[in-house]
Amino acid sequence: MPHVEIKCYPGRSEEQKIRCAEEVTKAITETMGCDASSVSVAIKEIEKEDWKAKVFDPQIASDEASLYKKPGYTCD
């Protein structure tokens, strides 16, 4: 507890992904009061042409009530 899954377009370096996971872990431990050993972070690359079908429609648009940070874009 907690587990974070980040989905993004391909193109980030391994170093960027590692730093992102470290910063997300830091933010979670500081704000949620848990130990870093309890945090897991996954980063999954999704191709741009698959974003709407694999991410936006099933996980963003259909689960809007649970979003604490909503995107500033649509996939119309």
Rounded distance between C-alpha atoms, residue 75 and residue 51, angstroms:
9
Backbone angles phi, psi at 5, to 5 degrees: -120, 120
Catalytic residue numbers, as ranges: 2
Peptide bond into 2 cis (omega under 30): yes
